[in-house]
Amino acid sequence: MQATHGLASLLFSVATALAMAFVAAPVRADDDPWPDIRRDVFDNRDIIENDGTITLDAPYRAEDAAIVPLTMRIPASIAPQVRSLTLIIDKNPAPVAATFHFGAAAGSGERMLSTRVRIDMYSNVRAVIETADGRLHMATKFVKASGGCSAPAAKDADEALASLGKMQIRTFDAAAAADRTPTAREAQVMIRHPNFTGMQMDQVSREYTPAKFVQELEVKRGGELVFRMEGGISISENPNFRFTFAPGSDDTLEVMAKDTDGRVFTATSAGKAS
């Protein structure tokens, strides 16, 4: 897809030139970056706002700008038609935080997706979905946060490096989820990864640590796609995703993550990592 390709290249080129871009051309606080983002990412297509097809939960003031929890919900009436969800943080150096492409195992019930992001300055945060008919719908929240992208990646730097690539998958069997029609289940995928932003100082070289992050994540249930994510540096350290999926004859989740160094991490909810 043209749009997907453009989006991915925006995501990576911005990330690659990040530290320099940040220093050379800081975004002025009063500039509204949204018109440019809308042109680059969505080709200036019409976007329907706040029509209830997507809702976004975000704190008005972030307690920790490096781990801001965001939750998106799509009602069951529209969920089966949703092909993708793009998460945008207007004023981050790489505004496209992630794009999620949904598959058959994403289910037809209410769809929920929750993750944690870095927010670098007071900014609008947007969740944009694209439905099968090519329409775009958006929910927007303003979040007060600062310094999320330059905050050091770890409270315990040694521990973070020692456990890189470790994955944890949980499935939740809440009664409420089982009672839904159609039934849905909820799961959480966690990956130990510093998700370096390129704006963090390296202690030895006194240079910025190059951006290094989980750029691809694929979650399948019994071989069928739940979602595939293309991610950038705005996803917090230790990327964390909680989401609904459709139960099937085999509810084993298989997860594959790939970072910008080409390292591939895999795990399944059956507990065996391969």
Q: Which residues bind another protein (CB under 8 A)?
A: 57, 59, 63-64, 67, 69, 71, 114, 116, 146-147, 150-152, 155-159, 168, 170, 172, 174, 186, 190, 192, 200-203, 206, 238, 240, 242
Find the shortest distance in angstroms from Cβ 80 to another protein: 25
Task: Tell me whether residue 64 or residue 218 sits nearer to another protein (CB atom).
Answer: 64
Helix (H, G, I), strand (E, B) or coil at 44: coil
Task: Tell me whether residue 99 or residue 200 sits nearer to another protein (CB atom).
Answer: 200
Find the shortest distance in angstroms from Cβ 161 to another protein: 12
Of 34, 58, 30, 57, nearest to 47 (Cα)?
Answer: 34
Are 257 and 216 within 8 A, CB to CB? Answer: yes
Find the shortest distance in angstroms from Cβ 202 to another protein: 8
Tell me the CA distances in angstroms from 26 to 7, 29, 54, 120, 239, one per residue in order. Answer: 22, 9, 31, 12, 26
Task: Tell me whether residue 58 or residue 89 sits nearer to another protein (CB atom).
Answer: 58
Find the shortest distance in angstroms from Cβ 112 to another protein: 10
Task: Tell me whether residue 34 or residue 122 sits nearer to another protein (CB atom).
Answer: 122
Side chain identity at residue 245, one-letter code: F
Q: What ranges in 119-171 are assigned the alpha helix state H? A: 157-162
Q: How far apart are CA 68 and CA 249, in angstroms?
A: 35
